[in-house]
Amino acid sequence: MIEIKTLATGSTGNCYWISDGSTPLLLECGISFKQIQKALNFKTSDLAGVLVTHEHKDHCKAVKDVADRGLDIYMSPGTKDSLGFQHHRIRSVEVKKQFQLGTWTILPFDVEHDVSEPFGFLLANEAGDKLLFATDTYYIRYKFPGLTHLMIESNYSQKILDGNVESGSTPSFLRDRVMQSHFSLENLIAFLKVNDLSKVEEIHLLHLSDSNSNEEEFKKEVQAATGKVVYVA
């Protein structure tokens, strides 16, 4: 069994708490440590670590404070180099090389974003659950067998984004940047259709754009495409 709590999601900050009942983790720390403490009722000492996908502030804002509080933080060598400071609690992990964190076996994989070395993470626990965590990527090149949970970006709809450009509310250069750095609803559904979802229990949609998405529509479309329980973070 996997428990998932969204502490924050979107361009203002991303932070998620997960646990398999034995080992709680944070995925991202893009809000202040005070906000993290408050959201977790000040129970942060039992966290086994923090996974960070890349160096944009909405994903790593609290890295220094989290490290100073004695929590180990795991990220790519490229992300570590891009932070601009060193800390003994910040650990580099290599792409496609598994590592262990409590009862979790974690596999980092490469994704596509406009940063130095962004990661997604595949997390498996001892009970046989498999959680895919992928955000801030316009494409995922891999297939993942045996997934039970997905936490995955669905940032924008191409139709909504194009409509906003045509109406003048979104400049065309911003559309190009969004399309080259974030996962669209259309790409998400295509990705889901080529993966084996037979064991999937939950799909959590993350990092929806304030102006280029529609929460109800996205939930309905992903439910219709997969037949699975869908939550919007």
CB 219 within 8 Å of CB 147: no
Q: Which residues contact 132 (CB under 8 A, 6 or more apart)?
A: 120, 121, 122, 123, 144, 147, 149, 150, 151, 152
**Tens digits of pLDDT across the chain (233 residues):** 999 999 999 999 999 999 999 999 999 999 999 999 999 999 999 999 999 999 999 999 999 999 999 999 999 999 999 998 899 999 999 999 999 999 999 999 999 998 989 999 999 999 999 999 999 999 999 999 999 999 999 999 999 998 998 998 888 888 888 888 899 999 999 999 999 999 999 999 999 999 999 999 999 999 999 999 999 99
Bridge-based pairing state of the strands 119-125 and 104-110:
antiparallel
CB 86 within 8 Å of CB 70: no
Identify the H or E element spanning 99. strand 99-101
Bridge-based pairing state of the strands 15-19 and 24-27:
antiparallel
Reference 192, options 182, 207, 202; nearest CA is 202
The total of other beta-carbon atoms located within 10 Å of residue 2's CB is: 18
Reference 74, options 48, 92, 101; nearest CA is 92
Q: What is the pTM of this model?
A: 0.96
